[in-house]
Amino acid sequence: MSDSHDKGKAAQRPENEDDASARSSAENTQGSSSEKTKKLPPKMIESLMDLNPALKSELAAMDKDQAADTLSKLDISQLLTGLTVGGKNQKDMASYKFWQTQPVPSFDDQASKKASPQGPIKIINPDEVPKTPDALIEGFEWCTLDLTDPTELKELYELLNNHYVEDDNAMFRFSYSESFLHWALMSPGWKKEWHVGVRATKSRKLVASICGVPTELRVRGERIKVTEINFLCIHKKLRSKRLTPVLIKEITRRCYVNGIYQAIYTGGVILPTPVSSCRYYHRALDWLKLYEVGFSPLPHGSTKARQITKNHLPSTTATPGLRPMESKDIDAVFDLLERYMRRFDLNQAFNREEIDHWLVYKEQPGKEQVVWSYVVEDPNTHNITDFVSFYNLESTVIDHHKHDAVRAAYLYYYATETAFTDNSKALRERLQLLMNDALICAKKANFDVFNALTLHDNPMFLEKLKFGAGDGQLHFYLYNYRTAPVPGGINDKNLPDENKMGGVGVVML
């Protein structure tokens, strides 16, 4: 029950979309995942297993035929991408011995031809839930973070900014502002006891964290209460102490005590077992800066001037009636988003209070803006026909002589009435117009790059609007809940595919 915190976000450098060789490795994986996995050379399979300890351990526990069958059933895009992202913490999170004890689907479930019924994997008896946490190793103790206390909020901010996700080359690290943490961890219904920390007993220093917020999901129409798990972070000097499983068990226990028995989390490595996998795409807004910090390559045969020109955006938006979202728009956006989200197998079931919290920016002294939301108001009827949003998550640029941060906008939730016309051409054109305007708005807000996954209806516009494929994959997991895999917007070539949409409709921070 963790986010595995290898999310592959800002640490990803887009592939060279102008270089044919950059595409060839993905294209070579076309065909059924079963056929291609069976044809992988033994040395490649061995390398893949070394990068994926959880999968390696499980296959080792099976007989030869069963292991081969399991391997053949795994999605090739899961095997070939997302495995090395965030390798700093991979070993601990991918401990199969731990996940074997948890109510999560095993890899063998995916290989089985017998469909399991959708629903909870384990029925939790509240009377059997421990009332106290497990003991920590000597010298450390549990704590509950009070994020209304500026001192403790700053402690979490400093822990994450110094020890959270960074890329394999130690060039970028997520930089969560205090305003972002307030927004992400104090949503409607938030519980203080779900903000879990570990302190060094003598120094009182915060050395680890794992946090959760309550929400509701719809999984193929079934509505369930879950905890959204995030910010699993351990001080670099303590990575060998095996704190991760203990943190996961403790946040699980605290959720059980509150009567919540399911969770959703994401990770950049494959654990038992993803319900879906999406790929990251990146759209340069300030290409030169991204090139200077090592985020974007200079394509073979191109020039800096050509890349700057290629990524140029208009100075003004083109959608009539586009304006910033206000509090008066909450009911209209709530109605539109609810209808739009029900089109996806896995989606977040918002309430009105959550729409207010997650989407409406309210200026406050001393607080940075975290989310940008825009609506399209029909000039004649004054009805809200569309809305789009993105949020800010900066990354620190480590040891760079010129730039200290990359400002990244992440596509958040959006919806359009055009989705209900059953006209895919009209929907594609509307989304391309709306998202191009979102890019322009982000550029005006001084963002350097605009990131998006292949979830929602994103495959309809990613390549058209010059998003480049990243080297990061984000895997979605459900804890103590089983359902058949849902599409992640990518095909067997690991490229956006409109025929693979309709699965993931939830955005994880």
**Cβ proximity of 50 and 505 under 8 Å:** no
Tell me how far apart the alpha carbons of residues 48 and 99 are, in angstroms, rounded to a whole number. 19
Residues 44, 48: Cα–Cα separation, whole Å: 6
Half-sphere exposure of 290 (CA within 13 A, CB side): 29
Task: Report the chain's terminal Cα–Cα distance, integer Å.
Answer: 16
DSSP 361-380: ----TT----EEEEEEE-TT
Q: Beta-carbon neighbour count of residue 21 at 10 Å?
A: 9
Q: Do 15 and 469 touch, CB atoms closer than 8 A?
A: yes
Catalytic residue among 285, 290, 393, 509: 509
Beta strand segments in 350-483, E: 371-377, 384-392, 394-397, 405-406, 408-416, 449-453, 468-479
Question: Strand order of the sheet with strand 172-175?
Answer: 172-175, 394-397, 405-406
Cβ atoms 492, 466 nearer than 8 A = no
243 is catalytic: no
Tokens, residue 9: 């976000």
| Active site (catalytic) residues | 509
